[in-house]
Copies of this chain bind each other. A is one copy, B any other.
Amino acid sequence: MTQYASLPDDQLHLLDRYWRAANYLSVGQIYLMDNPLLREPLKPEHIKPRLLGHWGTTPGLNFIYAHLNRAIRQHDLDMIYICGPGHGGPGMVANTWLEGSYSEIYPQVSQDAQGMKTLFRQFSFPGGIPSHAAPETPGSINEGGELGYSLSHAFGAVFDNPSLIAACVIGDGEAETGPLASSWFGIKFLNAARDGAVLPILHLNGYKIANPTILGRSSDEDLLHLFRGYGYEPLIVSGHEPEKMHRQMAQTLEQALERIRHYQQQARSGEAAEELPRWPMIIMRSPKGWTGPQTVDSKKVEDFWRAHQVPVSSCREDDGHRQILEEWMRSYQPEDLFDEQGRLRPELAALAPEGDKRMGATPWANGGRLRRELNTPAIADYAVDVTSPGETQAESTAALGAYLAGIFQRNRDNFRLFGPDETASNRLSKVFDVTSRTWQEPVKPYDEQLAADGRVMEILSEHQCQGWLEGYLLTGRHGLFNCYEAFIHIVDSMFNQHAKWLKVTRKLPWREPISSLNYLLSSHVWRQDHNGYSHQDPGFIDHVVNKKADIVRVYLPPDANTLLCVADHCLKTWDRINVIVAGKQPAPQWLNLEAAQQHCAAGMGIWHWAGTVAEGEEPDVVMACAGDVPTMETLAAVDLLRDYFPDLRIQVVNVVDLMALQTAEQHPHGLSDEAFDAIFTADKPVIFAFHGYPSLIHRLTYPRNNHGNFHVRGFMEEGTTTTPFDMTVMNELDRFHLAQEAIVRTSSLQGRADAVLDELAEKIAEHHRYVREHGEDLPEVRGWKWPSAQGDGGAPE
């Protein structure tokens, strides 16, 4: 093992002063409203009335930041600091203020005494800044409020960023979470030639909020085993004496960077590696609340969980506590750190990197600055040929797969597809004509579609797919996450946090827009008949629509061409979260490309060709649908109704863009009441066949005039392993139930439809008998085609 040069004493002392400055500023933010430089003794009115913030992790974060600064300058690195313990916000803010990146963005928080006062006062203060490393914090792509995702973000950030090193600090609390535990696998997907490097720094403070941590109390031996087992070369830095710790950290960081350089140079020179890289990771043991008060009121604080938030409370009211605070702050010797004007002394300011090399100013942490437009192919090249509605059968997602292959061909370093081993299952396999799955381990002769430079990212962890994609987008690139519909709930909470991030960043003028987070949910509830009830859940879209209207979009394209239109649109948007739900099974195609484009642009519309209402005429009943299977069942119901009641005026409505159902006040895509009434009428029954839980349609339409006449069918939480059509029957979303409902709700049919209702009831009974006898659906259901596709007198346009 190479011996790494020890840190010279003068450098060590400068570094230590820089660290003290960051610690001083961190404490000041938590406590002070005034007297930032302690030019007079602390008085009650200098102390904030409410003390909000997290000290425990902060000195460690500051220590690491200072050392990374040194490494950046020494080796001219591109580095991003991913702060897992985001609640250590004061540290991140302090460091960006010290290096100047903070004041460039927020000039009112200038690098002088007045600015320092503002810096302190604004922290965790109404009208000020959040207590965590939030979107408002320069250099941050990861708030860390909800723990578990920092390392996934770090990997996402360095994919296709060969020059970047993501230093990712992981708290020992966060390390207990599931998503973080599996994110260590990220190195298995890291290509040393094409990607940058992640340097995980597991920061063992020993305690969470009120408990020891599991890894904090593990032996060094177990820790070394664990991370070797994950494939890393773990390096330990441990102690509490600043001087020794500085020396250890500097040396260890050199060692880690040397190892990274070695693997990258080897891979990039084309030299064959003798084995897979064992990327370095650092385990840093340091006391929680390091350098803070050792005890308060005779209770242990430093190196204990009591240091987690505010180590000494009530400093406004309690003179003794205020005294502890003052001594603590003075222990950093502010006069040795800041000059008369409150500016960081020049020999310390010189320690920070310059310009965009500063971690608070790195463009990778403001990805929109680097974002290049996605180069998208013409969707016409992938459109399904539809001469007459229902004539063609196609797999919607297969068409999308071909389009995505076109995207891959045009965007060689700027786009990735993520999924939990479901890309082929979701029938996007055309992408494998032009790229492979990312796989760094040796490839066996019979392996298929695996390559070290593959661009399809598959790991059986929805958390990693989501976290990687977020990191990839936040650093300026594009992507799509394809997932079984039911299991996307696994990342509900990650979705929440990303939506919250976007909600805030959209209002920060200095944050440039990033590409939208796009979900393709396939293998959906109506086509999980083979996997059964555990795989049947359409509720993610309910969850999504809780978020701010200007951020979320939900699309339910009824066929392949509409899917292409929707996906092409979504991939070109920014600062949004788009959810697309689309099936993968062969299914009738309704719209040619031109019709699909018009339909998707409108968001919803009347399908005149399917209904029986002349333009301008009022219908007797509206048959509405959203989602591919509900659309097919609706059209099959209309087919039945047209046969039974040739004079019945049926208006068929299809909804692609769910947000268009809302009012214009609720959502930018919302239709005006006039436009809505023109489609759904003001007073006619609306039988709405919906992909998801019926309540969502009620929720989106309750302020509408005709809402009282909406009769929505959707998933009623009935499922099992059965046939596809039986799934719809179990939930009364099938053609027979829809036709029944239309008849019952239509006033002009009252009293003259009893025989038909009986016949439909018998159809349902027949289905039940047949399916249990034969194990497949009724031939008339399997063989059903829209009339015009049978050439028997339907009325296509």
Residues of A near any B CB (own CB < 8 A) = 33, 48-50, 52, 86-87, 124-132, 134, 143, 145-148, 173-174, 176-185, 188, 208-214, 217-218, 222-231, 300, 304, 421-425, 437, 439, 441-442, 446-447, 450, 458-464, 486-487, 489-490, 492-493, 496-497, 500, 503-504, 530-535, 537, 539, 542-543, 545-548, 693, 695, 698-699, 702, 707, 717, 720-723, 726, 771-772, 774-776
Contacts and interface: CB of A to CB of B under 8 A. Distances in A.
A497 B539 CA distance: 13
A33 B775 CA distance: 9
Contacts of A87: 531
26 contacts: A125-B721, A126-B723, A127-B771, A128-B721, A130-B721, A132-B534, A143-B534, A145-B534, A146-B490, A148-B490, A174-B460, A176-B461, A178-B179, A181-B182, A209-B422, A209-B425, A210-B421, A211-B458, A214-B459, A224-B229, A304-B446, A486-B496, A492-B543, A500-B534, A698-B702, A702-B707
A437 B207 CA distance: 14
A774 B437 contact: no
Given A211-B458, A217-B441, A726 B126 contact: yes
B50 A775 contact: yes
Nearest to A48: B775
Contacts of A442: 217
Nearest to A695: B699
A452 B464 CA distance: 34
Nearest to A213: B460
Nearest to A183: B178
B182 A124 contact: no
A503 B717 contact: yes
Given A147-B460, A228-B229, 6 more contacts: A146-B486, A178-B183, A181-B181, A225-B228, A300-B446, A487-B493
Contacts of A146: 486-487, 490, 534-535
B460 A173 contact: yes
A745 B49 CA distance: 38
The 3 A-B residue pairs with the shortest CB-CB distance, nearest first, are A226-B229, A145-B534, A178-B178
A167 B676 CA distance: 58
Contacts of A771: 126-127
A119 to B, nearest CB: 15
B720 A130 contact: yes
A174 B222 CA distance: 23
A699 B700 CA distance: 10
A683 B422 CA distance: 52
Contacts of A211: 421, 437, 450, 458
Nearest to A537: B496
Residue from A52, A132, A176 having most chain B Cβ neighbours under 10 A: A176
A9 B409 CA distance: 59
A461 to B, nearest CB: 5
A179 to B, nearest CB: 4
Given A49-B775, A723-B50, A188 B210 contact: no
A547 B717 contact: yes
A126 B229 contact: no
Contact of A776 (B50, B127, B179, B222): B50
Nearest to A143: B534
A177 B460 contact: yes
Contacts of A223: 229
A134 B532 contact: yes
Contacts of A147: 460
Nearest to A725: B126
Given A177-B460, A188-B214, A542-B546, A130 B229 contact: no
Given A717-B546, A720-B130, A531 B145 contact: yes
Given A132-B531, A180-B178, A546-B695, A214 B229 contact: no
A531 to B, nearest CB: 7
A463 B461 CA distance: 14
B178 A464 contact: yes
A412 to B, nearest CB: 23
A120 to B, nearest CB: 12
B421 A208 contact: yes
Contacts of A693: 546
B504 A496 contact: no
Contacts of A534: 86, 132, 134, 143, 145-146, 497, 500
Contacts of A143: 534
A327 to B, nearest CB: 22
Contacts of A548: 717
Given A530-B131, A532-B132, A721-B131, A49 B450 contact: no
Given A489-B492, A775-B125, A182 B173 contact: no
A544 to B, nearest CB: 10
Contacts of A492: 489-490, 492-493, 543
A544 B634 CA distance: 29
A181 B126 CA distance: 40
A293 to B, nearest CB: 15
A424 B309 CA distance: 14
A788 to B, nearest CB: 29
A86 B300 CA distance: 48
Contacts of A543: 492, 539, 542-543
A722 B126 contact: yes
A177 B33 contact: no
A490 B149 CA distance: 12
A213 to B, nearest CB: 7
B130 A425 contact: no
Contacts of A184: 181
A222 B722 CA distance: 42
B535 A546 contact: no
